[in-house]
Amino acid sequence: MFKKIISLFTDHPKWNGESYLKHMAFAFFYSSLFLLAATTCFIHAIFPFLFTKTGSGVARFILGSAEDRGDDI
């Protein structure tokens, strides 16, 4: 039972060739970038002259970074 619970946390990171902590660090990094993109897009919706390329730039960076790591997006 305990091994099954542990495998829930470690199988996916192992499949990506990472430890649990390294995978968590990348996930936190990506989530902070998504938060940045969401915030700037929200501001851009109200003030269309601000952050005209930030959201798409962050999205391109995330996609390129994930592809370089071999993540399946």
Cα separation, 61 vs 55, whole angstroms: 10
Predicted local distance difference test score (pLDDT) of residue 69: 72
Q: How far is CA 57 from CA 29, 34, 48, 60, in A?
A: 16, 11, 16, 5
The number of domains in the chain is 1
2 pLDDT exceeds 70?
yes
As a whole number, mean pLDDT of residues 59-70 equals 83
Task: Output helix, strand, coil percentages for the chain, rounded to the nearest 5.
Answer: 80, 0, 20
Q: 55 lies in which domain range?
A: 2-69
15 pLDDT exceeds 90?
no
